[in-house]
Amino acid sequence: MIKILHLSDIHIGSGFSHGRTNPETGCNTRLEDFQVTLGRCIDRAIAEPVDLVLFGGDAFPDATPPPLIKEAFATQFRRLVEAQIPTVLLVGNHDQYSQGQGGASLGIYRTLGIPGFVVGDRLETHLIQTRPGAIQVITLPWLTRSTLLTRPETAELSLESVNQLLIDKLKVALEGEIRRLDPALPVVLLAHVMVDKASLGAERFLAVGKGFTVPLSLLNRPCFDYVALGHVHKHQNLNPSNDPPVVYPGSIERVDFSEEKEDKGFVLIELEQDRVHWEFCPLSVRSFCTIKVDISKLDPPKCDPATPDSTQPDPSQARTPQAEILKAIATDQIQGAVVRLIYQLRPDQLDYIDTGKLYQALEPAHSFSIQPELVSQLARPRAPELKANSSLDPIESLKTYLKGREDLQDLELELVAAAQQLLAGEVPD
């Protein structure tokens, strides 16, 4: 039996806006969160111990992370070298430099010749010796147009046809790898791809361009014992028949609010001669919490905003805008969470919100943001004189309109003069 730990989409160095500076270390707390979580994956790999670690791609937010972040990543993976656990690092779209033409952030691990470390930056089959025996791992990094196609080939084609051409070429190339496999040894396909049946997570916002979608039928092959995927941040198995399992472990930490409700974790696999068993291992990661309150529907407050106590719930009118928001905060689980408070209000309610008190109420959160959203007022009533069939000429219409706009009175003469110039085909001064 070969035991494998499959993790993906680490994205260490992302989401600093959701953290704060740790005064003791000077580091962003979200970097520390990602470090701890990655550490837990590696802990498990060593504690089992597994015979192989497969990383499905997207190590960092981009191909040129700052040294501090590269080090945080390397510090954890180095423990696998020490534990002599072979590891495959696949290149994801976020790891490729300048769309695949300038190498990848993970290339350095190959250059250094780290024992047991394989970097998958092209379609190829790696024969890996593990403690219980050899295993074949086919690496399929993120595909770009330049991976398998030349510029003249795609010059006249629509994006859709390019996608099809790429899939056709990939099919042939993958077939080539499959034919060279040793049928006596287990096979895992490790791919950073968007599969057409996957339901999406944050990766759709993170990617710069729209990538290529690979049909499930291409990966869903009986010659594979397990298909280890990366790219989609939401954990899922795309093959209900489980033969083979086609699994996205998802990201290990929440990258942004779109992953608020998703479980985060990695996958442990046991490969036997004619049986594969896999299990999703959830990680306890920092929670994200959206609090949404719509106070725009409340009756206009009767209290006077000039009175200092007006933001306090008034017994005669307990449903003040402020009280409603505070109530919503109190009922949510914000302790230690990354919180965003979104409240919708009318302009006339603005004076009744004491932001200082909201800050106080959100204090137990790890970090928070407050996003007030002004609900636009009903459209200004039309001046009855300005009906669509009105016989007024444009200048008279403008004057009628300006009569109803006290706020523009100082500008009236200038506006009318400018309109006259425009109508006469001149550019106003």
- Burial string for 146-178 (b: 16+ CB within 10 Å, else e) reads ebbbeeeebeeeeeeebbebbbeebeebbeebe
Instruction: Report the alpha-carbon distance of residue 228 to residue 139 in Å, rounded.
Output: 10
* Least distance from Mn ion to the Cβ atom of residue 57, Å: 6
Instruction: Return the range that interacts with Mn ion (CB under 5 A); candidates 51-59, 305-313, 328-336, 418-426.
Output: 51-59
If the CB atoms of residues 194 and 358 are measured against Mn ion, the closer one turns out to be 194
Token couple for 271 = 């490969």
CB 214 → Mn ion: shortest distance, Å? Answer: 13
Which residue in 87, 93, 296, 349 binds Mn ion (CB under 5 A)?
Answer: 93
Task: Among 86, 92, 244, 249, indicate the residue that binds Mn ion (CB under 5 A).
Answer: 92
What's the min distance (Å) between Cβ of 10 and Mn ion? 11
Residue 114 or residue 267: which is nearer to Mn ion going by CB? 267
Any idea which residue has 């200038």 for tokens?
Answer: 414
Question: Applying CB under 5 A, does 96 fall inside the site for Mn ion?
Answer: no
Q: For Mn ion, what does the binding mask look like between residues 209 and 248, x meaning CB under 5 A?
A: ----------------------x-----------------
Closest distance to Mn ion from the beta carbon of 119 (Å):
16
Helices (H), 315-407: 321-331, 355-362, 394-403
CB of 151 to Mn ion, least distance (A): 24
Q: Please tell me the distance from the alpha carbon of residue 334 to that of residue 362, in angstroms, as a whole number.
A: 7
Range 27-35, long-range pairs (CB < 8 A, 24+ positions): 27/68, 29/366, 29/367, 31/68, 31/69, 31/72, 33/253, 33/285, 33/286, 34/10, 34/72, 34/252, 34/253, 35/72, 35/75, 35/76
Distances (CA, A) of 20 to 11, 28, 37, 239, 275: 18, 5, 17, 40, 46
Nearer to Mn ion, 58 or 253 (CB): 58
Taking a C-beta distance cutoff of 8 angstroms, is the pair 69, 77 a contact? no
Apex 22 CA angle, 19 and 25, nearest 5 = 135
CB of 341 to Mn ion, least distance (A): 30
CB of 325 to Mn ion, least distance (A): 37
Q: For Mn ion, which is the closer residue by CB, 232 or 361?
A: 232
Least CB distance to Mn ion at residue 203 (A): 5
Q: Give the nearest residue (CB) to Mn ion.
A: 231
Residue 93: name the closest of 53, 70, 125, 61 by CA.
61
Query: In which element (H, E) is residue 136 found?
Result: strand 134-140
| Size of interface with Mn ion, in residues (CB under 5 A) | 4
Is residue 251 at the binding interface for Mn ion, with CB under 5 A as the rule? no
Which is closer to Mn ion, CB of 41 or CB of 206? 206
Using CB under 5 A as the binding rule, whether residue 58 contacts Mn ion is answered as: yes
State which residue, 93 or 320, has the beta carbon closest to Mn ion. Answer: 93
Q: Which stretch binds Mn ion (CB under 5 A): 20-28, 47-55, 57-65, 75-83?
A: 57-65
As to burial, measured by CB atoms within 10 angstroms (0-12 exposed, 13-18 middle, 19+ buried), residue 295 is buried
Q: Which is nearer to Mn ion, 218 or 358 (CB)?
A: 218
* Count of all residues that appear for the chain in the document: 429
Q: Which is nearer to Mn ion, 198 or 269 (CB)?
A: 198
Q: How far is the CB of 58 from Mn ion (least distance, A)?
A: 4
By the 10 Å C-beta count (0-12 exposed, 13-18 middle, 19+ buried), 51 is classed as buried
| Candidates 93-101, 131-139, 171-179, 209-217; binding stretch for Mn ion (CB under 5 A) | 93-101
Comparing CB distances to Mn ion, the nearer of 2 and 59 is 59
Q: Which residues bind Mn ion (CB under 5 A)?
A: 58, 92-93, 231
